[in-house]
Chains A and B, each alone.
Chain A
Amino acid sequence: MLEFFRREVYGNFYSWRGAAWLVAASLIFSLVAYLLMTDKELSLLQQGEMIYILGEVIVALGVVMSAASASSTISGEMEAGTMESILLTPITHRQIAVQKLLSILSIWAIFYLISVPYLVVVSLGTNLTLAAVFYVGFFGTILVTAISSLSIAISAKLKSSKSSMMTALMTIIILLAPTMFFSTLFRTTSFGIMLDQINPVSHAINSLDSVLVDNQQTLAEQFNHIWPVIVFLIICMSLFMIYTKRLEVQGTQ
């Protein structure tokens, strides 16, 4: 069944969907790292905060990339008429979905490997290098797996690329909004705190803050941030399992 996975990965890169993400990611990492090192105001930040900002960018971009790729992976093939032939082969529907998920995770894997040298360079001279590489990889992988699973489930359920992409991206905006777009003051209000408590992405970002800025590097210290992210992963994987059990083409028009 590796043939299907191989074709998925090749298709991702041939269509420049995956490759474009990787090129864009490299440019963004370079720009962020350059600004952190050279910009007068940003360079005044503590080095831990610099690594945190870079880590936040890596995780956020990974999540957006996975949602954008996964949300049309099934609906797109159904619209293009290629899914029908695949569904007629003895491969089970879940195998199809799992291999699509793995192909998106493979883009994340390359994406993450590209980010590692930037994390290493920005954290040079501190004891945060390993923690930065580990926690960014850890939370990035869990969130990307969760969001990709959720987006594939949406794609399988809605069967329309436009609808599934819109739904997945709206979900991402809602998840990223508290940490990316809301002010620090808003986040200290009771409503802001509640949003942070129920938002897995906020937990991941807050954990990076805690590890890289407050230097609380052990897993035990981060447990309160880790379990909500794991629960989110379990929920997303469950939806993935439910909606990919049987992939159905639509009736004819």
Chain B
Amino acid sequence: MGVLSPSISTSNLSKIYGRFKAVDSLTMNVESGDIFGFLGPNGSGKTTTIRMLCGLILPSAGKAEIAGFDIIKDGVEIRKIIGLFPESSGFYNWMSAEEYLNYFAALYKINAQIAKKRTKDLLEKVELAGKSHVPIGYYSRGMKQRLGLARTLINDPQIIFLDEPTLGLDPKGQQDIQKILFDLNHDKGITIFLSSHALNEVSSLCKNVAILNRGRLVAQGTIDELRKRVEGSKGLLVTILNSSGAQEALSHMPFQVDVKADGKLIHVTIPETFESVNGIIDRFEKNGLQIYEIIRQEMNLEEIFIKLTADTRKPLDQGVPKQHA
């Protein structure tokens, strides 16, 4: 597998429950070694897609490959090289974290010595080493999330799927998991398929994202590409020094400006399409305005997401769901 060969590729992948299309003709590629953000509103089909890719449910139509393996024919091969951190996973509460990880290592047929070392390393990585002998039933939600992540990594996967990995965690816990994911990708080149509603988390970790809405792919690309697609610039914010003639000069400018004076500075918002930055600078200097700073205001991922998924007001035309996905 080459460095740039797709780790995950789908072609018209669909899942239909009765008349309800949970996932509708999804076609996308995730490059090897990427941290890929998979976004969408609740019920858009993210979890169903992840479950199909991991072989937990069969697709109704279409194809998908994980590291070149077909998700229908090569289920066992795929399960050896992937890890899944599900949205809500259950645990055997009577087991300790160490027993739990050793148990899964045995299911993956990992040599006992290697399993023991890996269990120890993973428990240290997720900061549960000190509680490794405590029954899981006594763990907090955050500790269970960490243990779930350790279980996801027990088979040393090449590709990991994460479905809301930081849901319900405190800021420190979220930061820790993000760091672990970043390190895994950076140090080991693991492909990470991250589904999350925490868009700041996706922005900071992912270069490429896909956005799903009502089972359909509405956009895929880098965050910059998506921003361009939705014309996601909110214009330039030019801050000038306040002076007696500044507001008077601004009132004669040949464009609509949003002036907000707060004492020493005046903030002027200018649509980016109006003129080039150099043109604006020249225009301001000719009018005796002293520019303090110019900032390009861009849509953040949350604003892009809301804009791309804003068609939820349209009525359902896919039938009444029997089983939601």
Chain A residues close to B by CB (< 8 Å): 1, 3-4, 7, 11, 14-15, 77, 80-92, 246, 248-253
Contact = CB atoms under 8 A, between A and B. Distances in A.
Interface centre among B57, B92, B94 (most CB of A within 10 A): B92
Given A4-B107, A91-B107, A248-B58, A82 B90 contact: yes
Interface in B89-121: 89-92, 94, 103-104, 106-109
Interface centre among A77, A83, A89 (most CB of B within 10 A): A89
B17 interface: yes
Given A90-B79, A251-B47, 7 more contacts: A3-B106, A14-B94, A82-B92, A87-B55, A89-B155, A250-B323, A252-B325
Given A3-B103, A251-B22, A87 B56 contact: yes
Nearest to B22: A251
19 contacts: A81-B86, A82-B89, A82-B92, A85-B84, A87-B55, A87-B56, A88-B84, A89-B108, A90-B76, A90-B80, A90-B108, A91-B107, A248-B56, A250-B323, A251-B47, A251-B48, A251-B51, A252-B47, A252-B324
B282 interface: no
Interface of B: 15, 17, 22, 47-48, 51, 54-58, 76, 79-80, 82-84, 86-92, 94, 103-104, 106-109, 151, 155, 323-325
Contacts of A85: 84, 86, 89-90, 104, 151
Interface centre among A3, A87, A251 (most CB of B within 10 A): A251
A84 B103 contact: no
B56 A251 contact: no
Given A82-B89, A90-B76, A252 B48 contact: yes
B92 A251 contact: no
A92 B76 contact: yes
A12 to B, nearest CB: 12
B102 to A, nearest CB: 9
B89 A89 contact: no
B84 A251 contact: no
Contacts of B80: 90
A88 B79 contact: yes
Contacts of B90: 77, 80-85
Nearest to B81: A90
A184 B262 CA distance: 99
A77 B324 CA distance: 20
A248 B82 CA distance: 18
Given A82-B89, A84-B86, A90 B109 contact: yes
Contacts of A81: 86, 88-90
Nearest to B42: A252
A251 B58 contact: no
Main secondary structure of the interface of A (DSSP, over half): loop
A56 B222 CA distance: 70
Contacts of B109: 90
A11 B94 CA distance: 8
A85 B144 CA distance: 14
Contacts of A88: 54-56, 79, 82-84
Contacts of A82: 89-92
Contact of B79 (A11, A89, A249): A89
Contacts of B58: 246, 248
A163 to B, nearest CB: 15
Contacts of A250: 323
Nearest to B321: A251
Contacts of B76: 90, 92
Nearest to B85: A85
Given A89-B104, A252-B324, A84 B94 contact: no
Nearest to A3: B106
A251 B325 contact: yes
Contact of A86 (B15, B88, B107, B325): B107
A84 B56 contact: yes
A51 B86 CA distance: 53
A1 B80 CA distance: 15
B92 A89 contact: no
Contact of A11 (B82, B83, B87, B92): B92
A253 B87 CA distance: 12
Lowest 5 CB-CB distances: which A-B pairs, in order?
A: A81-B90, A251-B325, A3-B106, A82-B90, A89-B107
Nearest to A252: B47
Contacts of A90: 76, 79-80, 107-109
A74 B61 CA distance: 27
B79 A84 contact: no
A4 B151 CA distance: 16
Contacts of B87: 252
A84 B107 contact: no
Contacts of A80: 90
A7 B324 contact: no
Contacts of B79: 88-90
A86 B109 CA distance: 13
